[in-house]
Structure 1
């Protein structure tokens, strides 16, 4: 490539799994193309993006996707989400045209979306090659929740067309099935594999020989019922934002300054809900996991089936989660030998993206303008 390649990246702020998938891919891409220029649009805080993405980038603080509005980390707010989708798609052609104008002015060589539909539709209208990267897409998630509504068909068609129009959809496993999308390329799992430093973590929080259990819900708010959990000798809970001094067996891991992947690799277990980043990073690190179901989220079935086959995990009943009555399940997990999975899909994703950047993107642009 004769000039500096410029990639525009759109990262959904719906939880942290989209960033966890995208960051290793961008680092792998930059390692193969050292002069790479990145512009990243995301509603996630810039410092959180820079903690995960090692390469320099320009940050545009905005969100382009509705995704879903949540009551908390495990429950979709259907009413508010429906209203948000109807508002966002009230004049979809105008939104796509505005996005195309924005991308034309920015003039990237490639658009990468995880996993908003709007930049993909805008890139196609602007004649710029585009790729999607994710374990899910919002069209299928939308259909799962709203397919029976009389207002939903046109919105679903617009979302689906945006994904179908991408040059490639890089589906990182474990993932939902996407049988209606063309040009889907399956990738191995993608994760940043953390450094396991259990002794250093225990020393940092004064835990001695206690078991360290991380409790987290993937970047979306959740009211943890810690007050109902009994203090259990030999267990220290690590919870982001836990009030200082309230309980001697609870530590605020956010105050430690550790990279989350390293924290996840250094604890004895994690308690969470189904989500790509948590599941795959825990499996790659060999960290046992207890999960609380989120039954209005169809991606969970693919994640749970994969984790059960590849790692050490168990389902956590809602009543046990509320009462803290799951210590016996943790003990059962600790009796099993740890298993680790490879999570090296970022290299293949980078190879796919470099192919789109080849020849200054001229050929892909002409193909898109031709409407193929």
Structure 2
């Protein structure tokens, strides 16, 4: 029993040892597995840590790139906003420039219209200048005609005075001769030779003075107008009759009865000279009327010439002011066109820059989305 108990006890003691040994073996195997797994996990952790560090570095780099891209994106947004505002302002300026250009075109059209009107006014001015020159020439011609009329009037006055003096002298001589003829008729008892000689001696100074005056009259009448030809013929007839009368009076064998005929001829000549003086008076009145008409016409032409000069001066001033305004507006239009071309070039450059920035913005947006996807 004791041995059995001992054997049982030993068996009982060996059983836990065996179990413990088995457990120990299992535990050691597990421990080895755990250690191997721990080493593997440790190496994996180290590798993961390295990868984490690398990823953190990459993430920091990507964050920096992202910050840079966000900053660039913000700048691009600001630039885009500023460019949009600038485009809006440029569009407003462009619309203003277009309206200004339309107004300038309208003003150019109006100025061209005014220029055409000014050209017509200039043509009218040239016509007025030519008319003024013609009027001046006509005025000078009328002045010359007026001078000629004054000269003719003076000549006619001198001739009229001469005719009046001749008429007065002829009337005096005829009255003396008529008295002398009556005296001779009362003294008819005298001889014919004595009467003829006395009549010749008494009439010699009167006939000589008459012949001198008539020759002067003939010389003066030769310078007068063609309208006085009748007076010339009358004077020539008067000279011829005077010569015949002298020959008859001074010739031998002349009878005293012929004196009556010569005195009657002288009376007729006096009447003829009175008619001529009346014609001179009529001509003088006619010349006075013509001179008055010419003076009125000359005053009218002077007034018209003065009004034309004033209107020409006014139109010349208006034309000069219009030309200055047109040149100023043309210069302004040229400057506006140059500024518009400059603004258009600036606008096209801004549009091109905006397109480039939009492309860069879209590229940066795509890059940032890719980076976000990689980070996630």
The structure richer in strand per residue is: 1
Tell me which interval the TM-score lies in, with the shorter structure as reference length: under 0.3
**Larger Rg over CA atoms:** 2
* Greater RCO (Cα-Cα under 8 Å, separation 6 or more): 2
Using the size of structure 2 for normalisation, the TM-score is: 0.19
Using the size of structure 1 for normalisation, the TM-score is: 0.19
The structure richer in helix per residue is: 2
